[in-house]
Amino acid sequence: MEKETFTVSVYSENNVGLLNRISGIFLKRHVNVESLNVSKSEIDGVSKFTIVIVETQEATRKIAGQIEKQIEVIKAYYHKNDETIYQESALFKIKSSLLFDERQIQNIIKESNSEIVTVSREFFVLSKTGRRNEVDAMHDLLKPYGIMQFVRSGRIAVTKEEMPISALLKEFNQN
C-alpha cells in the first residue's frame, strides 16, 4: 500500500500527560509526525489534536485505533487531504528597509494575499495563511531578500463530512 498524507483528528479531554501518551503511539511505530496542532474544539471542554502523518491507510487506521483506545481520548478520526479543508499559518519577520529598497517585496505581499501584522523601524511581520505549498512558495520568493525569522504552524483542518462527536459523548454519558 502506498503512503500518503493523512490528517488524524483526535477529540480528547484536556489533561496533563495526554500529549505524551498520544505521541508515544507514533514513537512506538517509528512514525514521524509531520505537524501537530492542539486547540479547543467545537465542544466545550473538549480538546482537538490535529496530527499530520505520511503513512499507509492501513497503518493510519491502526494508529487511530490505538489513540482512540486511550482512556482520555473520546474519538480519533483520520482523513485524506481531499476529505478535508485544511490550512496552515506562517509568520515571516523581515527587515523593514527592504519594504522601501526592494519594490518586488511589495508585489510579493500583494500577490500572496498575506497580511502585514506589524511594522517597526527595524522589521515588519508578514502573516500568511494557506496550504503548505502556498506558504512554501512565498518562503522561496522572500528567501533571496533575507528572512530574519520564519515559523509555520501545524495544519488545522475541518472535514467535509460530519464528525458525530457530540452524539457520541451524549451516548457515553447516558451509559
Partner 1 sequence: METLKAKNKETKKTTMKISGAEAIIHCLLEEGVDLIYGYPGGAIMPVYDELYKFQDKLTHILARHEQGATHAAQGYARVTGKVGVAMATSGPGATNLVTGIADAQIDSTPMVCVTGQVFRHLLGSDAFQETDIIGISTPVTKWNYQITKASEIPEIMAKAFYLARSGRPGPVLVDITKNAQLEEFEFSYEKCTGVRSYNPVPKPKEEAIDAAAELINNAKKPFIVFGQGVILGEAEEELKALVEKAGIPAAWTILGLSAMDTDHPLNVGMVGMHGNYGPNILTNECDLLIAIGMRFDDRVTGRLDDYAKQAKVIHFEIDPAEINKNVMSDVAVLGNSKETLKLILPKINENKHESWHNEFKEKYKIEFDQVINDQLNPTKEGLTMGEVLKEINIASENKAVIVSDVGQHQMFACRYAKFNQSKSNITSGGLGTMGFALPAAIGAKMGAMDREVVAIIGDGGYQMTIQELGVIFQHNLPVKIVVLNNEHLGMVRQWQELFFDKRYASTVMTNPDFVKIAEGYHIEAKRVSKRENLKAAIQEMMASKNPYFLEVNVEQEDNVFPMIPSGASVSEIRLK
Question: According to the binding rule CB under 8 A, does residue 10 interact with partner 1?
Answer: no
Name the maximum alpha-carbon separation found in the chain: 67
Interface segment toward partner 1; rule CB under 8 A; list 63-71, 97-105, 130-138, 149-157: 63-71
Total residues at the site for partner 1 (CB under 8 A)?
26
Task: Say whether residue 163 binds partner 1 (CB under 8 A).
Answer: no
How far is 20 from 95, CA to CA, in rounded Å?
A: 38
Q: How far is the CB of 69 from partner 1 (least distance, A)?
A: 5
Work out which of 32, 71, 161, 162 binds partner 1, going by CB under 8 A. 71
Which cell numbers hold the place of 100?
Answer: 522601501
Minimum distance of partner 1 from residue 4's CB (angstroms): 19
Distances (CA, A) of 139 to 9, 81, 93, 134: 27, 22, 11, 9
- Quote the least distance from Cβ 112 to partner 1, whole Å: 40
Query: In 3D, which of 49, 23, 31, 52 has the Cα closest to residue 131?
Result: 52
Asked if 120 is part of the footprint of partner 1 (rule: CB under 8 A), the reply reads no
H/E element holding 147?
A: none
How many residues appear in the chain? Answer: 175
Residue ranges binding partner 1 (CB under 8 A): 12-17, 20-21, 24, 27-28, 45, 61-62, 65-66, 68-69, 71-74, 169, 172-173, 175
